[in-house]
Structures are given as structure tokens and as C-alpha cells.
Amino acid sequence: MCRSKTGGYYRMIREKIIRKLRVEPGKRITLKKFETGWAQDEELKTYDKDAVKERSNEILEANRLTLATSQELLWANNTHSVLIILQGMDTAGKDGTIRHVMSGINPQGCRVCSFKVPTPEETEHNFLWRYSRDLPRRGEIGVFNRSYYEDVLVVKVHPELLESQQLPPGKRGGRFWDARYEDINAFERHLVRNGTLIMKFFLHISRDEQKKRILERLETEEKYWKFSLSDLAERSYWDQYQKAYETMFAKTSTDAAPWYIIPADYKWVARTLVADIISSQIQALDLKYPVVSPEQLTQIESAREQLNNE
Ligand code: AMP
Ligand code: MG
């Protein structure tokens, strides 16, 4: 079945979907209730999937153009920065999403940082230190491929990792983790107050899809390099991770810096949604090209005249 659809119709559905993906501040959600598949909307499921995919690619393309313009405005204004945080289980598609969503924008105004296991130098400092070093400057879009949220995810699932963090002695129970969520919220509030627009995305894949993707890495020569034995090890902690994510959403999705749970079993769905949210949120800043002063205008006119008379 393929019914005809207009741009307005898709816009309405997109807005409805995006509202559903946003985690309400303070709300405890259950990840199992969030789809990993291609639609969060019953109505959309009744439409022909190829047609939706085609339309989705058009939207992605349009969003790339909008993003390019928004980035130019961001750069010209030099008052705001954008911080995009990507989290997800191994193979969730963080790298691919970055590549696709950011492909149209000027590399000069964009920085992508991937965070791995902290180095000894990094653990010499507070846990937020290494992330604050890599924050985007005013005018820039910064993408964090993993982030300080790892310090309440992988570290919470494997609390023995805390032993290498050189922390002062103390209990590592609920209060310890609550303090970390609180620190993260305070850190983000500080950034938002200083002109950073923060968007946090969780790429939500199913356990079956992860199996498929890991197998792909094991069966395709060109993908061997992507495989890490730790992917398999971490997979066995699937439920613990899902639980850590659920608590993290409840504690750190705020009005100022919301979390979005992105269905990611289909890469095109995830990419379109992420691009759509980023592009609409930057547009909502309503940035305009800086107005030049009358003196600058006189200088521009005289420079133009000078060149034309050469
Ligand atoms: P990848 O993103 O696949 O290159 O893997 C990076 C690895 O670094 C993942 O296994 C993460 O769990 C791990 N990692 C990232 N941040 C931290 C952290 N703060 N503490 C411990 N492990 C981390
Ligand atoms: Mg990996």
C-alpha cells in the first residue's frame, strides 16, 4: 500500500515522533517500551516502507543543507556553541551517524571527539576534566562520540573501574552515583547558561540487531578491524547496561539538556531523526547574520569602490 503524502503530513508526523523520543525530565522510562525499529508511530507503519525511506532520505538531504546554513550563522555570530552527545551500545551506529549527519558542514566549525578508556593523565583529574578540555568553542558544533556519560554507564556496570580513578576513599553506593548525576547536571547547566546548546542522543538498538552487526564484523573482511573482543564481553552485560541507561535518563534528562531515544535498528531512520532534531534545534536559536555598524558599512562601500576603480 502506498498512499500519497505531502511534505506537511511528514512534518506533522516527524514532530509527533520527536516529541515521543524526548525523555521528559525526571521521568523514569523503560527502554523495552521504546522501539528500536523504523517507526514510533502507528500511523506511519501503515505506509509503504520504501516510500517512507525515500522521503526520509530527502529529509536527511534537506537537513544537511539547513545544518550547513545554521553552522554558518553559528560561526558568524560567535556567541553560541552546539554540543551533540552520542551514546549507545557497541555497534549502535555512532560513527556512521556522525559521518552522515555532519557530511555537509564546514569542517572548520566542527570538532568530533571520541572518548576511550581514560589515560593515566586523565585519571589524575576530576572525571569531567577530559571532556571540558574538548568542548566546542563559540561558533562551533562539537560532537562527543561517547562522553562523560560513560562515567555513569560503563563505570557503573563495572564499578571495579573506579579503582583506577584515584578517587578519595568512600562508599560507592547510591549516593556516590547520585553525586555524579548531580555534577553532570550542574556542568551542563553551566554550559547552557554560557550559550551552549546541548542535545543528547541514545542510539537504541535491539539485542538481536547487535548480534547481527557483530557477526557482520566477524564475517566481512573489510569490517574485521571494527571488531573488538570487548564488544562480546560487554554484550553479556546487556541488561545491566539497559538499567544503567534507564537511571541515567531519569536523572539527567533536563529541559536545558534533554535526552532523545533514537530507534537505531535501521540506520537511515536514526540518521534522519538525529539530523532533524539537530537542525530544528539550531534553527530555534533564531540566529541572524550580525548587523554591521554604520562605520563598517562606510568601510565596505569605500573598499568596494576602491577595488572597482583599480
Ligand atoms: P569505542 O568507542 O568502540 O572505540 O570504544 C571505546 C571504549 O572505551 C568503550 O568500551 C567504552 O566503554 C570505553 N570508555 C569510554 N569512556 C570510558 C570511561 N570514562 N571509563 C572507562 N571506559 C570508558
Ligand atoms: Mg567499538
Report which residue type is found at 133: R
- Is the per-residue pLDDT at 128 higher than 50? yes
When pLDDT is averaged across residues 140-144 and rounded to a whole number, the result is 97
The answer to whether 289 and 73 are in contact (CB under 8 A) is yes
Q: Are strands 196-204 and 81-88 parallel, antiparallel or unpaired?
A: parallel
- 276 alpha carbon to ligand 1 midpoint, in Å? 27
Q: Encode pLDDT of 31-48 as tens digits.
A: 999 999 976 566 666 677
Whole-angstrom distance, CA of residue 116 vs CA of residue 284? 33
Ligand 1 pocket member 87 (CB < 6 A): no
Ligand 1 pocket member 154 (CB < 6 A): yes
- 226 alpha carbon to ligand 2 midpoint, in Å? 7
- Collect residues with CB below 5 Å from ion ligand 2: 90, 228
Determine the Cα angle at 45 with ends 44 and 51, to 5°.
Answer: 70
When pLDDT is averaged across residues 47-65 and rounded to a whole number, the result is 81
Whole-angstrom distance, CA of residue 197 vs CA of residue 210? 31
Report the mean per-residue pLDDT for the chain. 92
Ligand 1 pocket member 150 (CB < 6 A): yes
Whole-angstrom distance, CA of residue 180 vs CA of residue 67? 33
pLDDT at site 58 = 83
Whole-angstrom distance, CA of residue 190 vs CA of residue 208? 39
pLDDT at site 2 = 41
What is the DSSP code (8-state) at residue 22? B
The answer to whether 192 and 256 are in contact (CB under 8 A) is yes
Ligand 1 pocket member 151 (CB < 6 A): yes
Q: Which three cell numbers stand for residue 19?
A: 516529541
The dihedral sign for the CA sequence 107, 88, 25, 132: negative
Q: Are strands 141-145 and 196-204 parallel, antiparallel or unpaired?
A: unpaired
Atom nearest to 148 CA in ligand 1: 19
Whole-angstrom distance, CA of residue 66 vs CA of residue 60? 10
Determine the Cα angle at 204 with ends 200 and 207, to 5°.
Answer: 150
Whole-angstrom distance, CA of residue 82 vs CA of residue 137? 9
- 90 alpha carbon to ligand 1 midpoint, in Å? 10
Q: Encode pLDDT of 177-213 as tens digits.
A: 999 999 999 999 999 999 999 999 999 999 999 999 9
pLDDT at site 110 = 94
- 30 alpha carbon to ligand 1 midpoint, in Å? 24
pLDDT at site 6 = 63
pLDDT at site 3 = 45
